[in-house]
Chains A and B, each alone.
Chain A
Amino acid sequence: MQSKKQQKLVGQLLVNGILLLICIAWTVPTLGLLVSSIRDREDIQSSGWWTIIPHRGWVQVSELPIPENASVDSEITIEGVTATYDEFRAGVDTGDGRQFVWIGNLRNGHIQVKDRQWTAGSNFTLENYGQVLVGKEYTIRNADGSTSTVQGDDLSASFLNSLTVTVPATVIPILIAAFAAYGFAWMKFPGRRILFIIVVALLVVPLQIALIPILRDYVKLNLNGTFLAIWLAHTGFGLPLATYLLYNYISTIPRDILESAFIDGASHFTIFTRLILPLSVPALASFAIFQFLWVWNDYLVALIFLGVTSGNVQVLTQRIAGMVGSRGADWHLLTAAAFISMVVPLVVFFSLQRYFVRGLMAGSVKG
């Protein structure tokens, strides 16, 4: 009996332990981004984000002036420690538990004296966010010790563009799909079954199939690069799933509710707007989250229909992908920008998680 109880306890510990490890592994990448986004530009480049965890490391305790007449070619002696300039730049252990590091260049710099101590990076700043959100300037120290000023990145425009693309691209397909779902569920008309079979068949069609013909249509209609173009594209690609999900929900609403409304003389339109829409809120919400996250995080459709070069309608994903290419070394900007792009979906996701999960369960595959 005793051993069985022990066995159970060990099993429980094992389950919780393994799960905890997996959870930590899952969080570490995101944590790395979040921590880096509030670290100073130079800190990011000189030490890993994980140094904010308390650890034994070299900490500066004092400063020494550089010796005069030092040269790159010969060895230099500082307080009895002899090494070349390059070795000092990389850091030289003195043998008594200290380290000398040459900061700056040969003529114009100083020596950092470091001790091994318990330490944790705690130099946090929100500057990075200012620099990416409103394009504030920031200064960088060049290799030769001089400083220069660089313009930050103005992401607020892309942020607004993302909102302008996403909100209608979420609401429009829901509205159209809800009308269609009502029609399929509560109206009799010729071709009803075959039309719905088309909807089901289109569920998994990859959207790549549509990009070339639609782009041609847009060029002809002079629609390319407009918000209307990308709303309609997202509407088209989201409609099969939306119609399918909403049909599944609306068709289960009890028939007697509608029949009594008909007897009272209500039209289909009135029943739909006054009765069915309010009753379908859970289904509408679960698809809304789906579509919202999908459109907000979309990169391909935006790239094709909003264009690569036209800066004034670029959405966040385009801007960030562009920054990865052009400002790959500006980690402080990249991290803050990436985190800004994640804030909205994370808020939506956590506040409406319940509906999201429900949508996933009812859902199928999007094309």
Chain B
Amino acid sequence: MQQTDIQEKRRTTPLEWVAANIGRILISVLVPVVTFLGLRAGFLFLRDSDAPQLIIAIVAIIWGVGGVAALYWVFNWVLELLPDEWKAQLQPFLFVGPAMAILTWYLALPTVRTFWLSLRSADSSQFVGFQNYIATFTQRIMLEAYRNNALWMIVGTSFTVSLGLLIAVLADRSNFENVAKAVIFLPMAISMVGAGVIWRFVYDVDPHIGLLNAIVTALGGEPQAWITLVQPWNNLLLTVIVIWLQTGYAMVLFSAAIKGVPDDLLEAARVDGATETQTFFRIIIPYIQGTIITVTTTVVIFTLKIFDVVMVTTGGQFGTEVIGVRFYREFFNNQNFGYGSAIAIVLLIAVIPVMIYNLIQFSKQEVF
């Protein structure tokens, strides 16, 4: 049936085909145009309208979610009108195309564009070569940021990983595993801005507000301005906030990995007379090595890009500057696009080893 269709088409000239299908073509042009106009009307309404907030919220959610679904539907509808061989060729673009377009616009191209900007002056008008990079590696405040980021990465990661592992092991043997895990995990749902407020009730200088100073004064000491004046320890106190936030993540992954250690392996070790510590270090740790690597890289990257916590607690003052805050200040406050871009590129270079590791792991998968 299909074959005769194609043969018939071959006998007609393209012009005749267009003439015969003029209605079809018009509709297939009209529908996308109407969709586009409808979406545009929605956009203009959302941008300019003074309607009550609740109505704007509802319209925005419906417009945003429905709009994307409608676009897919309309384009597929147009595609279905085309001859079969065209359809087969074009359909993958409908499915994969939008994702790749957005990825290109938002991540792939910006990498190149940011690099280009990093070679230019503050307002991007002149080419300055590697001058911005020289500044990022010599400026005193940047060196302070590197030092603090190193501290964040070393202290934050080691504590998050080891505490997560410890809690996972303890929870596995305790009588209230689920409750304990939920309690440790709960901070994962809290924003770092919220966490900044929460921890003010620990670090505040007023002993009626700050728990730490209440303890210090109860023991007869003087209240301290922990996150401002106690340098350089204030960096460690800020790190505690992120350890508090991230340990739950490490714990959940370790907990699942530990449960995956085969029972007969542990049983065999016990029969051979291994102590608990020996079993832990010689069997469990090597067995969950892959998970340890995953968790460690995740937390390292997280602490490398640390921004919110420092921003809402000290704003990078008092010797707590970090790369993330530096980037924001240069780019957003100082409008120095060249320098800001150079800092972003430094961040990118720092994660390249992880990117390569991911790609190697991926190429090992034979499925693709």
Q: Kindly specify which of B130-138, B142-150, B168-176 makes contact with the partner chain.
A: B168-176
What are the residues of chain B within 8 A of A297 when measuring CB–CB? 190-194
What are the residues of chain B within 8 A of A120 when measuring CB–CB? none
Say whether, besides A47-B208, A164-B56, A175 and B72 are in contact (CB < 8 Å).
yes
Say whether, besides A30-B198, A168-B64, A180 and B99 are in contact (CB < 8 Å).
yes
User: Beta-carbon contacts of B170-195 to A below 8 Å, as 1s and 0s?
Assistant: 11011110011011111111111110
| A212 close to chain B: CB less than 8 A | yes
B191→A15 contact, CB < 8 A: no
B167→A345 contact, CB < 8 A: no
Query: Which of A15, A176, A226, A335 meets B99, CB within 8 Å?
Result: A176
B106-135: which residues lie under 8 A (CB-CB) from chain A? 106-111, 113-114, 117
What are the residues of chain B within 8 A of A202 when measuring CB–CB? 103, 107-108
| A361 close to chain B: CB less than 8 A | yes
What are the residues of chain B within 8 A of A172 when measuring CB–CB? 64-65, 68
A15→B297 contact, CB < 8 A: no
Within the assembled complex, what's the spacing in Å between the Cα atoms of A44 and B305?
34
| B214 close to chain A: CB less than 8 A | yes
Within the assembled complex, what's the spacing in Å between the Cα atoms of A298 and B297?
21
| A19 close to chain B: CB less than 8 A | yes
Query: Which of A214, A304, A349, A361 meets B106, CB within 8 Å?
Result: A214
Q: Kindly specify which of A90-98, A101-109, A193-201 makes contact with the partner chain.
A: A193-201
B201→A29 contact, CB < 8 A: yes
B64→A228 contact, CB < 8 A: yes
What are the residues of chain A within 8 A of B95 when measuring CB–CB? 179-180, 182-183, 187, 268, 272
Q: Kindly specify which of B11-19, B22-30, B351-359 makes contact with the partner chain.
A: B351-359
Range of interface residues on chain A? 35 or more
What are the residues of chain B within 8 A of A205 when measuring CB–CB? 107, 111, 348, 351, 355
B337 to chain A, nearest CB (A): 6
Say whether, besides A210-B110, A232-B106, A349 and B61 are in contact (CB < 8 Å).
no
A206 to chain B, nearest CB (A): 5
Interface of chain B: mostly helix, strand, loop or mixed: helix
A1-52: which residues lie under 8 A (CB-CB) from chain B? 12, 15-16, 18-19, 22-23, 26-30, 32-33, 36, 44-50
What are the residues of chain A within 8 A of B175 when measuring CB–CB? 12, 16
A157→B47 contact, CB < 8 A: no
What are the residues of chain B within 8 A of A331 when measuring CB–CB? 209
A241-272: which residues lie under 8 A (CB-CB) from chain B? 243, 251, 267-269, 272
Within the assembled complex, what's the spacing in Å between the Cα atoms of A198 and B298?
20
A84 to chain B, nearest CB (A): 23
B189 to chain A, nearest CB (A): 4
A209→B110 contact, CB < 8 A: yes
Interface of chain A: mostly helix, strand, loop or mixed: helix
Residues of B within 8 A of A (CB-CB), count:
107
Query: Which of A46, A171, A176, A213 meets B102, CB within 8 Å?
Result: A176
Say whether, besides A48-B214, A198-B103, A26 and B198 are in contact (CB < 8 Å).
no
| B224 close to chain A: CB less than 8 A | no
Query: Which of B69, B106, B244, B298 meets A29, CB within 8 Å?
Result: B244
B197→A334 contact, CB < 8 A: yes
B196 to chain A, nearest CB (A): 7
Q: Kindly specify which of B151-159, B263-271, B306-314 makes contact with the partner chain.
A: B306-314
What are the residues of chain A within 8 A of B307 when measuring CB–CB? 299-300
Within the assembled complex, what's the spacing in Å between the Cα atoms of A365 and B249?
12
A29→B102 contact, CB < 8 A: no
| B86 close to chain A: CB less than 8 A | no
What are the residues of chain A within 8 A of B113 when measuring CB–CB? 212-213
Query: Which of A23, A192, A357 meets B183, CB within 8 Å?
Result: A23
The residue on A at minimum CB distance from B99 is A180
| A177 close to chain B: CB less than 8 A | yes
A183→B194 contact, CB < 8 A: no
| A66 close to chain B: CB less than 8 A | no
Query: Which of A201, A268, A321 meets B311, CB within 8 Å?
Result: A321
What are the residues of chain B within 8 A of A367 when measuring CB–CB? 107, 351
What are the residues of chain A within 8 A of B100 when measuring CB–CB? 180, 195, 198
Sample of 19 further A-B pairs with CB below 8 A, known A176-B68, A268-B95: A19-B170, A22-B180, A29-B244, A30-B198, A48-B208, A175-B69, A179-B94, A202-B107, A204-B358, A208-B327, A213-B110, A226-B46, A236-B106, A236-B107, A300-B324, A321-B196, A324-B196, A331-B209, A338-B194
Interface residues of B (CB under 8 A from A): 43, 46-47, 53-54, 56-57, 60-61, 64-65, 68-69, 72, 76, 80, 91-96, 98-100, 102-103, 105-111, 113-114, 117, 167, 170-171, 173-176, 179-180, 182-194, 196-202, 207-209, 211, 214, 244, 249, 252-253, 256, 294, 297-298, 301, 304-305, 307-308, 311-312, 324, 327-328, 331-332, 337, 340-341, 343-345, 347-348, 351, 354-355, 358-359, 362, 367-368
21 contacts between A and B (CB under 8 A): A26-B184, A33-B201, A46-B208, A160-B54, A175-B72, A179-B94, A188-B92, A189-B96, A202-B103, A206-B301, A211-B344, A213-B109, A240-B103, A297-B190, A297-B191, A300-B328, A341-B193, A345-B191, A346-B190, A361-B253, A367-B107
